[in-house]
Amino acid sequence: MFQSPVILERNIKNSALKMVEFDVAIIGSGIGGLVCACYLLKAGLKTVIIERNPEVGGYCTSFYRDGYFFEGGPHLLGGIEKGVLGQLLTEIGVKNKINFVQFDPSDKLLLPYGRVLFIRKEVNGTLKEFEKCFPKEKKNIQLFFSYITQKNFLDLYSRFKKKTFYDLVNSFFTGEEIKQLLNILLFGVLGVSIEKIPAWIGIAVFKEFFLDPGYYPQGGMKEIPKTLAENIKREGGEILLKNEVKKIFTKTGSVRGLLLLDGRKIKVNTIVANIDPFQLSTLIKKRKEDWLGERIFTPSSSAVVLYLGGGYDLVKDLHDCRCIWNLGPKENFYKSQIIFSPSLQNSIEQNSLKHTLEVFSFHRWREDINEKGLFSRLLKMTKRVMPGIEKNIVFRDMAIPKTFYRYTLNRNGAILGNSLTIPQDKERFKVKSDFVEGLFLTGAWYSYGGISEAAITGKRTAMAILKELKLSHNFELTRL
Ligand SMILES: Cc1cc2nc3c(=O)[nH]c(=O)nc-3n(C[C@H](O)[C@H](O)[C@H](O)COP(=O)(O)OP(=O)(O)OC[C@H]3O[C@@H](n4cnc5c(N)ncnc54)[C@H](O)[C@@H]3O)c2cc1C
């Protein structure tokens, strides 16, 4: 699927290249790195981003194959009007440069016995959908919705930081089916076994999913990083594409600079790593155990995605929603699918022959995958809910965990960074590293995954740097 980065082949030992100096260098241009750069530039710091791919954005990207348009990562977002992502984009000054549309309904969940539950634009609409599907739980549903949508997030966090989301759901509901559904939905957003997810993360995810769901930037997800990158350039920041950080120089435990693949060196005393912790430990040449210490680090799940192209008949089952959840047997989300159509999300005309459909499933990391067999299995699963699909496929391609690894170097092709479970939550990294002076961390690996959370860490990291450098700012952190 993704094009491999064009690597500039140069002898990195050729040190005739000049040394460049910056206040801050950011490794990786995922959403975390880009947001962080925007805030640092606002505060007047000379900032550079180094990105190994030909484009910015990391997983938040879109691409063409044979004239068919696809999303590389996320397909819908929450929190643009009422949530933290919209607030951050407004604060940076780019929200009105991106044309977000909100779909109503956004998601359609196919429940057993032919029942259907829609996720609506307004939270009360979604609540009614739940009541319709689970009439015996009406009262519990109302209590659950009013509970998770209450304003005081810090209060919720402190009360629930030691409880799992599983415990929380059990304390509200009696019926197994609704418990299963909420658990499976949460797995669908986080890719982590739900028994271990801290309750506060579940609440944060559902707040976004139920309160302000279903947004899509017209032109594709790539519009978000593209607009952030334009802002970075306007503010005087630099972005080096098709380059790669090969080494972080340290002296007496402090950051001193970077070595790039093309041989250039960057002199810098503050570095932000928007990359996975495993690669980071090789770049600073620290033994893994020196810096991981007691912390437990488990990559979240990876994924497989089918990319299909054809005429309108291929996507017509999505006429009443923008995304179908084809739920598998209970508690096995690996056998579930999320099906969506980038062409419908971009409102291309019905008679176009360039319609596109993507079928997403979580998948564990494996070196040896029988791609043909996997493709057929996944298609068979899709045919359960879209029986006529196969004859309408004109174009087909597939991404597997290795594809996701190759694109970002995220260990095991993890699509949502670290799988933040209760024990990991206790030990999790601060955005200011405690093992090398001047090294800061940002992105999905240093919280839990997703665009909103990567963006929040970007801002949090920038604020930690400004504090460290004793530069004043008036940024605050708020949640939905
Ligand atoms: C298929 C899929 C579906 C998803 N669906 C959703 C969804 O529906 N909603 C949602 O919110 N999130 C979703 N996500 C997750 C979301 O996209 C990620 O959590 C988020 O984009 C991660 O951002 P990040 O800042 O951590 O950086 P990443 O996206 O991980 O980017 C890191 C960047 O660093 C670069 N890099 C790595 N090493 C180096 C180096 N040595 N030198 C230079 N550059 C380097 C990489 O090339 C990459 O561009 C999905 C992801 C995938 C793959």
Taking CA 261 as the corner, what is the angle to CA 259 and CA 266, rounded to the nearest 5 degrees? 30
* Interatomic CA distance for residues 355 and 393, integer angstroms: 10
pLDDT single digits (tens) 264-318? 999 999 999 999 988 998 898 766 656 665 566 788 899 999 999 999 999 999 9
Binding site membership of 209 for ligand 1 (Cβ less than 6 Å): no
**Alpha helices per DSSP H over 149-294:** 153-160, 165-172, 176-190, 199-211, 223-234, 277-283, 288-292
Structure tokens at 192: 């982590």
The CA 67 to ligand 1 mean position distance, Å, reads: 24
Of 29, 77, 24, 34, nearest to 53 by C-alpha is 29
**Predicted local confidence at residue 311, as pLDDT:** 98
Atom 34 (ligand 1): residue with closest C-alpha?
Answer: 28
pLDDT tens-digit readout, 103-131: 999 999 998 888 999 999 999 999 999 99
Torsion angle of the four alpha carbons 256, 31, 192, 283, in this order, in degrees rounded to the nearest 10: -20
Q: What pLDDT shows up at residue 187?
A: 83
Q: Separation of 454 CA from ligand 1 center, angstroms?
A: 9
Which ligand 1 atom sits nearest the alpha carbon of residue 457?
25
Q: How far is residue 129 CA from its own chain's centroid?
A: 27
Burial (0-12, 13-18, 19+ Cβ within 10 Å), 176: exposed
Q: Give 250's strand partners.
A: 255
Q: Any residues with CB less than 8 A from the CB of 153 and at least 6 apart, and which?
A: 203, 204, 207, 479, 480
Q: For ligand 1, pick from 27, 59, 279 the residue to mutate: most ligand atoms within 8 Å of CB.
A: 59
Whether residue 275 has its Cβ less than 6 Å from ligand 1: yes
How much is the pLDDT for 200?
83
What was the pLDDT predicted at 315? 98
Q: Are 332 and 117 in contact (CB under 8 A)?
A: no
74 CB less than 6 Å from ligand 1? yes
CA distance 317 to 66: 23
Q: How many angstroms separate the CA atoms of 370 and 353, rounded?
A: 30
What are the C-alpha distances in Å from 457 to residues 152, 168, 217, 248, 324?
Answer: 20, 26, 21, 21, 30
* pLDDT at site 28: 98
Mutation test residue for ligand 1: of 75, 228, 272, 275, the one with most atoms within 8 Å of CB: 275
Among protein residues, the one with the nearest Cα to ligand 1's atom 33 is 28
Cβ of 164 closer than 6 Å to ligand 1, yes or no, is no
Which atom number of ligand 1 is nearest to the Cα of residue 31? 25
Take atom 1 of ligand 1 and give the residue whose Cα is closest: 73
Q: Is the minimum distance from the CB of 51 to ligand 1 under 6 angstroms? A: yes
The dihedrals phi and psi of 304, each to the nearest 5 degrees, come to: -125, 145
Q: Which atom of ligand 1 is nearest to the CA of 32?
A: 25
Q: Which atom of ligand 1 is nearest to the CA of 71?
A: 1
pLDDT of residue 342: 98
Can you say how many angstroms the Cα of residue 148 is from the centroid of all Cα atoms in its chain? 22
Q: Which residue carries 């100096």 as its tokens?
A: 21
Q: Using a 6 Å cutoff on CB, does residue 191 contact ligand 1?
A: no
Strand 116-119 relative to strand 215-217: parallel, antiparallel, unpaired? unpaired
Residue ranges in the chain whose pLDDT is less than 70: 1-19, 151, 153, 156-157, 193, 286-296, 330-331, 422-429, 476-480
Using CA positions, which residue lies closest to atom 45 of ligand 1? 28
pLDDT at 7: 32
> pLDDT tens, 28-54?
999 999 999 999 999 999 999 999 999
